[in-house]
Chains A and B, each alone.
Chain A
Amino acid sequence: MYAQMIKSEKSNETPEELAAFQARIDRGERIEPKEWMPEGYRKTLIRQIGQHAHSEIVGQLPEGNWVTRAPTLERKAILLAKVQDEAGHGLYLYSACETLGVSRDELFEKLHSGAMKYSSIFNYPTLTWADMGAVGWLVDGAAIMNQVPLQRTSYGPYARAMIRICKEESFHQRQGYSVMMKMAQGTEAQKAMAQDALNRFWYPALMMFGPSDAESVHSEQNMAWKIKINSNDELRQRFVNETVPQAHYLGLTVPDENLKFNEETGNWDFSQPDWTEFFEVLKGNGPCNEERLGARRKAWDDGEWFRDGLSAYAEKSAARRAAVAAE
């Protein structure tokens, strides 16, 4: 659950200021909220952490879809706990983002208006229970691949949020794999369901890392600032290498005819996902874009009276306390 294709913003600072800042980062120092930072660094981080936070929040929706239909009470409780974790992860990240001078409500508004994005993966539907397995195993697995290095990112509040998130994310991936194991060892029909889920989620999971950024100036800047640690291709390869044997253990087939272990490099060679599809989904034309944003907007609007009610109650009780104190 994280950010894709983050453009770096330009800075207007002097070369000396920028060099001094870069030197701090190169020494491995962490940058903290009130300290001096280039405007470009600040804005790029708002975009990246904000998009990451939005992904956690929107990521609850495809899984929330199965809470009421989980096959057992235990699976239901586990799924509920996972969805609750995603909400928590979103909140840690919004807090980190707010230290950069943007409010959470502003970020919500940008999500709801479409001005800010969330990860493309959540615009795919979750059609069967096996999808809960595939999402945990592949989607959370891909997210972990990206998030583990980000624990060493240069911005203190972001790195600390990442540490907390990574601790919890491992539960998500393992619970997903456990669903997959159960399905893959089940009846023929259940095994077919597991295979179908892998078929549908494999390429969208590969897309989570974003298109190749080997030549990208944005990536270069973001890597220098240590808000991006590895290239997209590097992380994607790592993910494939780790995931293919896990699929084999399940007795499932990765939907890629070109998948082949390369003795020379020690990597699995694989086919690229359809990048035209990726850009379409990003533009808003994925299977579930409208549904996801619609659900977010509805939840925000329908909750307004409740948020306002709590504020009104807080104001009244503060006034009552002040009156008692004045007596």
Chain B
Amino acid sequence: MSKKEWPLWEIFIRGQHGLNHRHVGSLHAPDAEMAINHARDVYTRRKEGVSIWVVPSSEITASSPSDKGPLFDPAESKVYRHPTFFDIPDEVGHM
């Protein structure tokens, strides 16, 4: 068994031109260049992408599951942020 484990990388793929990169999974690689090579083999075997980002997993800061309430609940009562909250009479036409 190799003493040294390769670090973990998070992989983001842009599916088509004009779309955001999206997180697709993670993989191990010794460095960023190899991470891109591996990501190509593991996540784009069927033309799933036109661009790859790799980020060391250790560099990701995530919100804690226990903060879910304080972070996201305040938005619940603010339905007026959606356009459908306001009734516009049909006579006004498309808005």
Contact = CB atoms under 8 A, between A and B. Distances in A.
Contact of A95 (B27, B45, B64): B27
A30 B89 CA distance: 41
B45 A108 contact: no
A34 B64 contact: yes
A88 B25 contact: no
Interface string B62-79: 101100000000000000
Contacts of B26: 95, 98
Interface in B29-86: 30-31, 34, 41-42, 45-46, 62, 64-65
Contacts of A109: 1
Interface string A284-327: 00000000000000001000100110110110011000000000
Interface string B2-28: 101110100000000000000001111
B45 A311 contact: no
Given A307-B6, A311-B6, A314-B30, A88 B45 contact: yes
Nearest to A171: B46
Interface in A136-186: 160-161, 164, 168
A311 B2 CA distance: 10
B25 A32 contact: no
A85 interface: yes
A37 to B, nearest CB: 11
A158 to B, nearest CB: 12
A92 interface: yes
Nearest to A109: B1
Interface residues of A, number: 31
A35 B64 CA distance: 8
Nearest to B64: A34
Contacts of A105: 1-2, 5
B8 A91 contact: no
Contacts of B2: 105, 304, 307-308, 311
A32 B66 CA distance: 12
A84 interface: yes
A98 to B, nearest CB: 7
A35 B25 CA distance: 18
Nearest to A104: B28
A102 B26 CA distance: 14
Contacts of B27: 91, 95
B30 A313 contact: yes
A310 B1 contact: no
A135 B47 CA distance: 26
A36 B62 CA distance: 15
B52 to A, nearest CB: 15
Nearest to A90: B42
A145 to B, nearest CB: 23
B34 A88 contact: no
Interface in A170-214: none
Interface of B: 1-2, 4-6, 8, 25-28, 30-31, 34, 41-42, 45-46, 62, 64-65
Given A105-B2, A308-B4, A314-B31, 15 more contacts: A34-B64, A84-B45, A85-B45, A88-B41, A95-B26, A95-B27, A98-B26, A103-B5, A104-B28, A109-B1, A300-B1, A307-B30, A310-B34, A314-B30, A317-B31
Interface of A: 32, 34-36, 81, 84-85, 88, 91-92, 95, 98, 103-105, 108-109, 160-161, 164, 168, 300, 304, 307-308, 310-311, 313-314, 317-318
Closest 6 CB pairs of A and B: A314-B31, A314-B30, A310-B30, A35-B65, A311-B30, A307-B2
8 contacts: A88-B42, A91-B42, A92-B25, A104-B28, A105-B1, A307-B2, A313-B30, A314-B31
